[in-house]
Structure 1
């Protein structure tokens, strides 16, 4: 029997998404921009079956509990209702990325689920509309519909808050990912985001500056100006973490090795190797670099970190449909 599954790749935000203006619809407080990576991805299949009395969800071959299954079930309703499907679903998903460790597993996970549900339901949504629906599962998933550099336009309503491709990133761009800790983080992005928006006195300044950063980074991408791209990426990421430190209670995802990695990036720049760091809601550090420099950057990091903590990633593609027997 032929099984179709959808593969979606993670994306790392260079202009960060940190805050919602509508929790239920997952509408962001600002637009964001990311780079899709080839090294981390999720593969998911969905099959609707009238003979099954409830949705069943397997993640990495493990049957998931009620809470995890209910989240997936609610998301599948966004496909079942318009397609006129009333039957339950069997969902099988495999994460080739640590879950909830600040490596964008929710982005690839929900984008893959959206793609698989789109196939199974027969809705045949176009990429823009699929991006709209994927957003309802995880904000960052809206960007994983596409490859390369992708902008999530915040929009004014749910109908125009979706991602658009900006550039295929085929010009000597890469990342070295430093996996400081692959375990699930103690505070979810959702909770950390909510608390930061509600309590950080720096948040208004973050929104103002990130809008300017987005304009400037798109120009840097258009000109293929790597230095400007990197400088904006590093600055924007640190400003996001600054807003977290201003929250009540203060929030930090950093670990000692996160700081070690950031300092090493600064040292490499002093030595003439252009590279820049960014971090999301987790301790892991992503080093934006020229792909042609990635091997020597990894070699330098291997003097401090274990080899299995270092992953070189190239720009990744958008959703892919895979067929297996």
Structure 2
């Protein structure tokens, strides 16, 4: 008998970054992190465990992926197979509404959606915490996309203690927006995985990063508890700059910044001088995200539209957590 499940998960953007692993196999992070889930980019994934299949197959945006591209998906599916005693191979059909590998958290939404779809297909009814642990095994930041709004990934020290939790924020999180400035949506020269490992292994600045990140997390949670936008923005911006600073101390040094990344960061500072409170952050890619209050989002968008093509600008609001959907194959039989 076939087992079919489908789920949608949204990207999250870390305000306090996860940067570095202490266990590559289990994907246990060196530091805890905090993110905001957003509604503009998402992944929908349908999984079919099928006894007729002789191997896993992976379709991304309706294209069958090759053996190397399917390898990561198969590895993740095997975690479910081993944990929940199912022997079937699976067909995975994923539609990614995120530019892949451009620093926009496509792996976070992708693996969170895959975890949710597997759980639904096997009728596991897993708790958000259990789903978060499983999503983490596919991509670290995916554990945070199980939740809407603010989420904290507690680093833990084992497979069972490393997972994300909701950060209480009442309705304040719904007053926040983020402007994505897509300066480049092509594949990165240095992947997040490779960049992290090089930084942890070789960067002279890395130990300072770990100390600062722990302090930053506490400041961010305090700002959220107090609904203090400027305090949250200031710590998010400084945390991003320090994360990217570690890459310059790696051997060999590297950076994810492009000339347009620097241009966007300088424009954010200009916005603040003009009285529009906003703060930038960047993940492992050249694209810049600007945190802003919803009441100021139109002014911010108008300012940046004078400097960037409007196709490069996308506004996002606070997004929901993982959503279980009705599979298309079942809908066809209604």
Coarse TM-score class (shorter-chain normalised): over 0.9
Matches of 2:87 and 2:191, distance apart in 1? 32
1:159-208 deviation per Cα after TM superposition (whole angstroms, max 9, x unaligned): 10000000357321110000000111111000000000111111001000
Moved more, 68-77 or 205-214: 68-77
Matches of 2:226 and 2:258, distance apart in 1? 35
SS in 2 for 1:159: coil
1:89-114 deviation per Cα after TM superposition (whole angstroms, max 9, x unaligned): 11000000000000000000000000
Correspondence 1:294 to 2:294: no
Matches of 1:46 and 1:5, distance apart in 2? 6
2:192 is matched with 189
The answer for unaligned runs of 5 or more in structure 2 is: none
Matches of 2:8 and 2:125, distance apart in 1? 16
Cα deviation for residue 156 of structure 1 reads 1.9
1:238 is matched with 241
| TM-score (structure 1 length as normaliser) | 0.98
1:265-299 deviation per Cα after TM superposition (whole angstroms, max 9, x unaligned): 00000011100000011000000000111111111
2:55 is matched with 54
Change (3 A) 1:4 1:159: closer
Correspondence 1:267 to 2:264: no
Matches of 2:277 and 2:4, distance apart in 1? 44
| TM-score (structure 2 length as normaliser) | 0.95
Q: 1:149·1:169 contact (CA, 8 Å) conserved in 2?
A: no
SS in 1 for 2:179: strand
Cα deviation for residue 3 of structure 1 reads 6.8
Matches of 1:82 and 1:297, distance apart in 2? 47
Matches of 2:35 and 2:201, distance apart in 1? 25
1:200 is matched with 203
SS in 2 for 1:167: coil
1:128 is matched with 129
1:226 is matched with 229
Correspondence 1:315 to 2:325: no
Matches of 1:170 and 1:298, distance apart in 2? 23
The answer for unaligned runs of 5 or more in structure 1 is: none
Moved more, 232-241 or 63-72: 63-72
Correspondence 1:114 to 2:129: no
Matches of 1:322 and 1:123, distance apart in 2? 15
1:89 is matched with 90
Correspondence 1:257 to 2:260: yes
Correspondence 1:175 to 2:178: yes
Matches of 2:277 and 2:37, distance apart in 1? 20
SS in 2 for 1:217: helix
SS in 2 for 1:44: strand
Structure 1 vs Structure 2 CA RMSD: 1.4
The number of aligned residues is 325
1:150 is matched with 151
1:138 is matched with 139
1:118-171 deviation per Cα after TM superposition (whole angstroms, max 9, x unaligned): 111222211101100110000000000000000000012111000000035732
Change (3 A) 1:169 1:235: farther
Cα deviation for residue 83 of structure 1 reads 2.3
1:38 is matched with 39
2:166 is matched with 165
